[in-house]
Structure 1
Amino acid sequence: MKLNMGDKPYSCVVCESSFAQRSHLLNHMKIHTGEKPYPCKVCDSSFAHKSTLFDNMKTHMGEKPYSCEICGSSFARKSHLLTHMKTHTEEKPHFCEVCGSSFAQKSNFLTHMKTHTGEKSQSCEVCDSSFAQKSHVFRHMKTHTGEKPHSCEVCGSSFAQKSTLLNHMKTHTGEKPHSCEVCGSSFAQKSTLFDHMKTHTGEKPYSCEVCGSSFARKSILVNHVKIHTGEKPHSCKICGSFFAHKSTLFDHIKKHTEEKPYSCEVCGSSFARKSHLLCHIKTHTGYKPHSCEVCGSSFARKSDLLRHMKTHTGEKPHSCEVCGSSFAQNSDLLRHMKTHTGEKPHFCEVCGSSFAQNSGLLRHMKTHTGEKPHSCVLCCSSFAQKSNLLTHMKTHGRQTTFL
């Protein structure tokens, strides 16, 4: 009768919640005392209520007796079904007064509030990392155990989290349900859309404590920090090279497989990385937004500008351990090292000559084609190599001196 009349005479002295039955109050008090007298013999979890233990046992037996009449989803607990039903009604009664977000479940609302308070009460026993939710600790622990129980049936990749697997599957289906209302770009994940929106607002909330650089995404900051720490955890099994980022390793592997999936629609050139294709496209548009403040030279890529600046500073940080020669670029050092190893991987298909560098092969090929693209403006002589033209120009300089 108390349920029908709304009478709740039993109140909690801690949080002032009220209940119609004394047994409900006693069960509720266990939330405050932390008492969990009902242990599960399968997974060692403990529960405050016997009914919760029975629901937990259903997860081990795979029993899901509660079904949704709308979409057919099944659940082990009736409470889970009731919570799920709100996804169909779009009912979100729990409102955050700080940012205006709404939630269907009070538990999600309370978890969300921790993002504003910064509370991280759950700690990892291995590395002392702290988290707002206990479930986040469980996910984090898999980084220590290396456990990856969720496998992709298409490519065989394994993941620690089921959510990560579901996001990965979109790379095979090409599904991109989240669209940007500003520019129309589509994304597979909602979180990626949120990060993308910052490119329109210019928001960069994640700052590097070492150099002060700011980033729109936390993941980009984490990758950036490796520049300062020198951390390179990803290694190539073919040549032993190490990389700071896994994506860079995947791009590097394409050099060994010679895979170049990104093609230029203008000239047909192919590239192993999408970023290289985007940079290449600028050579057709003539767009060079990066200018040198010393000499005014312009470049399509910021990396090209940074390399160019070393010609002014004379900086040569990359040294050869064999002969001590120094180079401004690491790529120049790698090419130089071939002079010590004698490696000549680039072969001429006409005469079989081999060269240490691809540029040397390209110069050599002109001897077969007869191509002479470098012309003298004084006497119209033509040369296959620019260096030969420069040498030739000196003959005009000596003649001018004698005259």
Structure 2
Amino acid sequence: MDYLDAIYATSNETTEKQYLCQLCNSSLTDEASLTEHMEKHNTDNTSTCEICGYSCSNKSTFENHMHSHAGEKPHCCEVCRFSFTRKSSLIKHMRTHTGEKPYSCQVCDYACSQKYDLVIHMRTHTGEEPYSCEACGSTFARKSTLVTHIRIHTGEKPYCCKQCGYSCSQKSSLVIHMQAHSGEKPFSCKVCEYSCSKKLDLAKHMRTHTGEKPYSCQVCDYSCSQKSNLAKHMRTHTGEKPYACKLCDYSCSHKLSLMIHMHTHSGKKPFSCEVCDWTFSMKSSLVTHMRTHTGEKPFSCGVCGSSFAKKSNLGKHMKTHTKKAGSSTKSAIPPTNMAGKEEKKK
């Protein structure tokens, strides 16, 4: 069996059931199975639910159905005490404790505990996306993904925070939001003491340890670890300045630059020195100012070893070396050349 045969063979084995019984809502894989199933309803042993009209010939199946009306859940997990109406549901649940994964993909090493999960996985090989959006035509492998996507068009946000009124379209977004109220930070770095509330934030943080820079500029050699930083960098090429001041004509490429600019209108200087009470509109200015107290000079010259508190002062200093280099170059010009120039002037 080659690669494609394995895909379609596995796909066919796990195809979703399409033939639905109108009497008990059971679904079958083909017409023959449905016909055979319908014969069970024609036997004298068929039991009918007086509440909803459901009927079946299997005694245990009918008992399970009646439990759903009574709210009974007789099948209980001995590990976590979670209970279920059907024994089959308990069997599936037990795999979360045992780690059993009886359904495996014949194309790759994927294995799972639920048959439906294998059906979904096979679509990564076949490319099948049976669920489509009527509004924009986007297709999806999972029905749940389509349901979430449709909320983009409808604007529906069914998940709401009871503490602050925040609402969102995905349950996972609400779970993350609630951690802001509880202060919970379940994702922690194994290298340092950093912890956060979002798994994505932890992935970004780990790049500070690995040095990974997956986002690269297609114009120059610039690369970075954050997608947002690449977006900011691209503005150096495009000249885009999306952040504009509402009070004057000032515009800039970074949101932080606009926030700092707004201090010029309000006169606000939120950053203050604890030593001499000087105040600043920018945190970077306060950091530079503190060096006048600490004596720190982090910028050093690679030529003579001189150090400076400000990067701009180091830049000015470096020019003194370039001037000396230029003057030494001029003095090294052979006298004959100078004489030749004088003769030409005459």
Q: TM-score, normalised by structure 1?
A: 0.44
> Which of the two has higher C-alpha Rg?
2
Of structures 1 and 2, the one scoring higher in RCO (CA 8 A, sep 6+) is 2
TM-score of the pair, normalised by structure 2: 0.49
